[in-house]
């Protein structure tokens, strides 16, 4: 039986192999067909396209100030004579701020910072957290030390920790990204560690250890793949909260410098005149809320399809 293969068994093996092959795209199909993923993904894609093509969406320079056009309501029009002597009408679709900058242009350009911060923070915290979590889960003697440090970091409320870190650096995109990433890392570490701890007891891992698989290969081939689905889900939620925290830092005036167009900065600028003109808070607020909502809904959809165990818990 072992020397000569029975044709029907061989055929069965082929069929079984195909089934396994088919199992992979079916997860992907389930993800693609999930309405939450579809809605969240589409809105996020549109925001990303807005961020990339900001200069071509009827915008002007988001930092140009115009003293004659201060605090104008949405729809205000102004005729200017260009350097070539031709007359040109400037429309302020979302109104102007108290320096006469075009709120529409600033809002469109503001998508750039939010998308960059969201994606970078999610990527960095997941990568760093994965690395630390694998070490913590796999090397027992390091685990208590690492987890005490993570507990300590988690004892400082996230926004407060970000605010404290921002106060240490000169304000800028890099500082804001570092300040938002650090508080997110312990949550990723805990997640990865719990996956590692449950997987390492599985028979196939024990079997791999028995046949003498070197530790790096073991982690890479047998443990790492189990962390991917929960990490994609977690990364999405981190992206949403990073976009929010960046806006909060900008709004409080301690994030990215105020001349840079970010949604938080536009709203911070609009605070002083809010009683009379609400557009500087309203429009960027809608963009911000819609983006974060889309990312959160995308995360919910991914959780339901990729990580059913986690979906049941929450």
Partner 1 sequence: MASFIFKRLLATIPVMLFVAVFVFLMLRMTPYDPAAIIAGDNANADQVAAIRKSLGLDQPILSQFFIWMGQILQGNFGESFFFKKTVTSLIADRIGPTLSLATVTMLLSISVAVPLGVLAAYRQGTWIDRVVMGFSVMGFSVPVFVIGYILIYLFAINVSWLPVQGYRPLSAGFGEWIRHLILPACTLSVIYIALIARMTRASMLEVLSEDYVRTARAKGQTEWKVLFRHALRNAAVPIVTVIGIGIALLIGGVVVTESVYSIAGLGRLTVDAVLARDYPTIQAVILLFSFVYVVINLLVDLTYSLLDPRIRY
Query: Which residues are near partner 1 by CB under 8 A?
Result: 148-149, 151-153, 155-161, 163-164, 166-168, 240, 244, 247-248, 251-254, 267, 274-275, 278, 281, 285, 288-289, 292-293, 296-297, 300, 313-314
**Smallest distance from the beta carbon of 256 to partner 1, in angstroms?**
14
The span from the CA of 243 to the CA of 285, in Å, is 12
Q: Is the Cβ of residue 137 or residue 284 nearer to partner 1 in the bound state?
A: 284
Give the chain's length.
Answer: 314
**Smallest distance from the beta carbon of 228 to partner 1, in angstroms?**
24
Q: Show the tokens assigned to 282.
A: 């309203």
Neighbours of 219 (CB within 10 A): 18
| Contacts made by residues 296-300, CB under 8 angstroms, sequence distance 24+ | 296/40, 296/237, 296/240, 297/36, 297/39, 297/40, 298/36, 298/37, 298/39, 298/40, 298/41, 298/44, 298/236, 299/40, 299/233, 299/236, 299/237, 299/240, 300/36, 300/40
**Smallest distance from the beta carbon of 162 to partner 1, in angstroms?**
9
Q: Show the tokens assigned to 135.
A: 């070490």
95 three-state secondary structure: coil
Q: Where would I find the beta strands (DSSP E) of 3-148? A: 76-81, 87-92
**Smallest distance from the beta carbon of 246 to partner 1, in angstroms?**
10
**Smallest distance from the beta carbon of 34 to partner 1, in angstroms?**
15
**Smallest distance from the beta carbon of 95 to partner 1, in angstroms?**
15
Q: Is the Cβ of residue 184 or residue 205 nearer to partner 1 in the bound state?
A: 184
Q: Is the Cβ of residue 192 or residue 247 nearer to partner 1 in the bound state?
A: 247
C-beta of residue 189 within 8 angstroms of C-beta of residue 278: no
Q: Is the Cβ of residue 151 or residue 206 nearer to partner 1 in the bound state?
A: 151
**Smallest distance from the beta carbon of 44 to partner 1, in angstroms?**
13
Q: Is the Cβ of residue 152 or residue 225 nearer to partner 1 in the bound state?
A: 152
**Smallest distance from the beta carbon of 66 to partner 1, in angstroms?**
25
DSSP code per residue over 46-80: HHHHHHHTGGGSS---TT---GGGTTPPTTEEEEE
C-beta of residue 240 within 8 angstroms of C-beta of residue 297: no
Q: Is the Cβ of residue 205 or residue 300 nearer to partner 1 in the bound state?
A: 300
Q: Is the Cβ of residue 98 or residue 226 nearer to partner 1 in the bound state?
A: 98
Q: Is the Cβ of residue 53 or residue 169 nearer to partner 1 in the bound state?
A: 169
The span from the CA of 109 to the CA of 115, in Å, is 11
Q: Of 132, 125, 105, whose CA–CA distance to 180 is shortest?
A: 125
């Amino acid at each position: 039986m072992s020397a000569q293969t029975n044709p029907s068994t061989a055929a069965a093996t082929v069929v079984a192999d195909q089934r396994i092959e088919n199992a992979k795209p079916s997860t992907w199909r389930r993800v693609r067909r999930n309405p939450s993923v579809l809605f969240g993904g589409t809105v996020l894609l549109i925001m990303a396209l807005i961020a990339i093509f900001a200069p071509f969406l009827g915008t002007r320079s988001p930092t140009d100030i115009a003293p004659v056009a201060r605090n104008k309501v949405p729809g205000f029009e102004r005729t200017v004579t260009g350097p070539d002597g031709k007359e040109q009408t400037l429309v302020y679709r979302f109104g102007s701020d108290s320096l006469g900058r075009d709120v529409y242009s600033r809002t469109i350009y503001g998508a750039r910072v939010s998308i960059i911060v969201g994606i970078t923070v999610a990527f960095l915290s997941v990568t760093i957290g994965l690395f630390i979590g694998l070490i913590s889960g796999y090397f027992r003697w390091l685990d208590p030390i690492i987890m005490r440090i993570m507990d300590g970091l988690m004892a400082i409320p996230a926004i407060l920790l970000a605010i404290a870190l921002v106060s240490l650096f000169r304000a800028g995109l890099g500082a804001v990204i570092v300040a938002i990433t650090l508080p997110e890392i312990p949550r990723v570490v805990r997640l990865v560690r719990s996956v590692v701890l449950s997987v390492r007891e599985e028979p196939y891992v024990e079997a791999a250890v028995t046949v003498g698989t070197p530790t790096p290969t073991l982690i890479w081939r047998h443990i790492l793949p189990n962390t991917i689905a929960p990490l994609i889900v977690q990364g999405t939620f981190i992206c949403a909260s990073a976009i929010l925290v960046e806006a909060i830092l900008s709004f409080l005036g301690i994030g990215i410098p105020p001349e840079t167009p970010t949604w938080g900065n536009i709203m911070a600028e609009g605070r002083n005149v809010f009683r009379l003109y609400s557009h500087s808070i309203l429009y960027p607020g809608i963009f911000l809320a819609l983006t974060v909502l889309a990312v959160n809904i995308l995360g919910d959809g991914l959780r339901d399809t990729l990580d059913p165990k986690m979906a049941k818990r929450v």
